[in-house]
Structure 1
Amino acid sequence: MNIKKQPISNSLGQLIFNRNNSNILEIDKEEIISLFKYYGVLLFRGFETNTDIFKQFTSLFSTDFINYAGGAFNRRVINGDETLLSVNDFKSEIKLHGEMYYQQNIPLMLWFFCANPALEDGETTVCDGREFFDKLSSSTKDLFSQKKLKFAVRISKDDWHKKYKTDDLEVLGEMCKNNNTHLKVHEDQSIQLEYIAPAIIPSRCGNYQVFINSLLPTMQLSPDVLTFDDDSKIPDDVVSELNEIAEIITTEISWQKGDILMVDNTRIMHGRRAFADDLRDIYIRLCSPAFPF
């Protein structure tokens, strides 16, 4: 199937248009894989889609879909499928981040589907972590090369039951072990978690460095959770620098009904602008590529 494409923005991704009322399930898989590896983010627009077609399409390129156990937010399950989740748990802004970078085992690939856009605002934001790294000051690059991020949080018994989708401490312990997360259980069965992660990682699709992590939304929503691995505070001027860079290089995805967004979660950070109405309905799937990556 011939496809029509153009950049999503001046510096990011590719927008794949429907041509001649084509079936998205008959798209040239090898061309899409090649574009994905090069650009890191693809937006499919103008195709006939629905929730079932979205699931079929994502399964053409992906495997190992996960259910978001251990995730930071409460996500509504769509149509009883725990691998198909709403991202509308609240309406405020979410700053740029890599998905689930507060644990070791991350989904390598993300898919978003616009079941319905907001009346206004609510754009999904994306940026290239490679470009983000290039724009960091030398001193900030040096800082993040010397120190890692430490996420430390206490969670009540009821909350970790919901977060990890289990009430079994042995199961929780195994999950934490597999994620290289230190677990401490208190007498009231609340838990303390600690996870240490780099802020900068090497790319999987090229010889370059990528700034991708969960620093900005954590500092936005739960700043007490995050320090450096030596327990020192992340300087305010560094956080300001990161927020300034984020705004400079952010691309906004203004959703249209039926849009599908394909994201490399080892390179592309994403977030969201605030919105006010109840119409916005965006779904996500978390997975791994079903091709060498």
Structure 2
Amino acid sequence: MTDPKDWKPLELRPEDGRTGAEGVCELLAGSEDFGDLLAREKAVVFRDFEVAEQDIESVMDLLLPNRLEYLHGTSPRTKLGGNLYTSTEYPQHMTIAMHNELSYSHRWPERLFFYCATTPGSGGATPVVDGALWLASLDEEVRDAFAAGIRYTQNLHDGFGLGRSWRQTFETDDRETVESFLTAGEFDWAWNPDGGLRMTSPIRPATVRHPVSGAEVWFNQADHFHPAALGDETARELAQILPPEELPQSVTFADGSPIPDAYVLHIHDRGLETAVDVDWRRGDLMVVDNVAVGHGRRPFAGDRRVLVAMSD
């Protein structure tokens, strides 16, 4: 029996030399239900199929039954159409720490789809981490401290300011649409006199149970919202100048008390240390179970273009 600590994504390769989108579709048609496969393997990589970018729509139709918009997203990316986006557009020298997409919100996708349109010059792997192993890697003191949950706060400007605007975050100019989302998520929120939006989540859990396996997994973005783990020097300096309540985003324990820097750095580092790197070549695909598996990005040099989509 395989040791859970040896977990890595399942890699599928062309059968009988059938490549491209057609090869992926034929492989899927002749195998078990992909939902069952993904629930068991947690992440699946389609390697060496050399799928052309103009053909990925047919593959996504099979792998992502209901593609979603990136609503309430915090990272900068470009929408390409058909609910397909560029991956996070942070500077290439930066590491993007492990996280489950939209785990800070009340709605998150069940599946994430990645497609490599341009092979990285060097580096640029997408690390993936088994959320149960990430949880097990954390010190008991940290796990206990987060047991009651956390709260996230965001300050979203109206078009000019630090971080993302509320229009970018919710992909709309309609305040009523935003208010409906916030009401459904039971946020505390208010429009500011300058047109910006301040919003604080209700208590969010630090861990959740996977709906199929029942495994408890680490499932939050405390380290992404906390200034101690910011990878950008300018952002860290900003966090030293502004009080937490004025930062574009911040996080506390459920009772409002601050989360120690050491806890956040411990979570950040253990996630990256426990992760398995998925290297990219043009035309490769990957689908991950967004509850079971966290993901990130390693630094890279040269070109790199990875596209992402998500579904429930």
Gaps of 5+ in 1: 1-8, 289-293
- The structure whose residues are more often strand, as a share, is 1
Distance 1:165 1:183 in 2: 18
The match for 2:307 is 283
In the alignment, does 2:175 pair up with 1:169?
Answer: yes
The match for 1:87 is 87
Question: Following TM superposition, where does structure 1 have runs of at least 4 consecutive aligned residues deviating by more than 6 angstroms?
Answer: none
Residue type at the aligned position of 2:175:
L
In the alignment, does 2:11 pair up with 1:15?
Answer: yes
Distance 2:107 2:154 in 1: 18
Gaps of 5+ in 2: 160-164, 245-249
Distance 1:155 1:88 in 2: 18
- Relative to structure 1, the CA distance from residue 88 to residue 200 in structure 2 (aligned partners, 3 Å threshold; closer, same or farther) is closer
Deviations 1:68-113 (A, max 9, x none): 13211221122xx141111151222110001012211111110000
The match for 1:155 is 156
Aligned counterparts, 1:194-233, within 5 A: 194-195=200-201, 196-219=203-226, 220-221=229-230, 224=244, 225-233=250-258
SS at 1:263 equivalent:
strand
TM-score by length of 2: 0.83
Distance 2:204 2:289 in 1: 19
In the alignment, does 2:276 pair up with 1:251?
Answer: yes
Distance 1:151 1:176 in 2: 13
Structure 1 residue 29: Cα displacement: 4.5
**Residue 39 of structure 2 contacts residue 213 of structure 2 at CA under 8 Å; is this kept in 1?**
no
TM-score by length of 1: 0.88
SS at 1:261 equivalent:
strand
Identical aligned pairs, as a percentage? 22
Q: How many residues align?
A: 277
**Residue 157 of structure 1 contacts residue 189 of structure 1 at CA under 8 Å; is this kept in 2?**
yes
SS at 2:122 equivalent:
coil
Distance 2:54 2:32 in 1: 22
The match for 2:162 is none
Match of 1:132 among 117, 131, 134: 134
> Over aligned residue pairs, what C-alpha RMSD do you find?
2.0
Bigger drift between 37-46 and 60-69 goes to: 60-69
Deviations 1:238-260 (A, max 9, x none): 22322332233111111111110
